[in-house]
């Protein structure tokens, strides 16, 4: 998740089309690795029914795929940079150990 946060930050700092493409590639690569890693973590540390724990994790991921664009679209109307800053803050906060 820290890599996804860095990807959002790189997108914000990109100044040319080529750097935007590189930042987007970095962000997409790390986001594509996030779901399998999260499900493996849930699978490994589930204390009860492993399938149930993975189903709940998948439900929360789906909820994030619904709420994320709604939130990003709403704050995009306020300022173009706010969705990216919001992503940086969300992902970096979630990356910190408890």
Question: Band of the pLDDT at 45, cuts 50, 70, 90?
Answer: confident
Q: What is the pLDDT of residue 70?
A: 94
Rg (CA), the chain: 15
* Crossing angle between the packed helical segments 50-76 and 17-45, to the nearest 10 degrees: 150
pLDDT of residue 87: 84
pLDDT at 97: 52
Structure tokens at 89: 């803050």
Q: Is the pLDDT of residue 96 over 70?
A: no
Report whether pLDDT(46) > 80. yes
Rounded to two decimals, the pTM is 0.70
Residue that is written with structure tokens 């590639």 in the block:
25
What are the φ/ψ torsions at residue 3 (nearest 5 degrees)?
A: -65, -40
Cα–Cα distance between 2 and 41 in angstroms, integer? 16
Q: Which of 71, 39, 37 has the alpha carbon at shortest distance from 58? A: 39
In contact, 36 and 69? CB cutoff 8 Å: no
């Amino acid at each position: 998740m820290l890599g996804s946060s860095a990807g959002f930050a790189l997108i914000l700092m990109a100044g040319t089309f080529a750097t935007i493409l590189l930042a987007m590639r970095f962000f997409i690569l790390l986001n594509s690795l996030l779901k399998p890693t999260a499900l493996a973590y849930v699978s490994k540390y589930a204390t009860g029914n492993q399938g149930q724990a993975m189903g709940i994790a998948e439900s929360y991921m789906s909820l994030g795929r619904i709420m994320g664009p709604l939130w990003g679209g709403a704050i995009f109307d306020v300022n173009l940079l706010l969705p990216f800053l919001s992503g940086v803050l969300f992902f970096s906060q979630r990356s910190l150990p408890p």
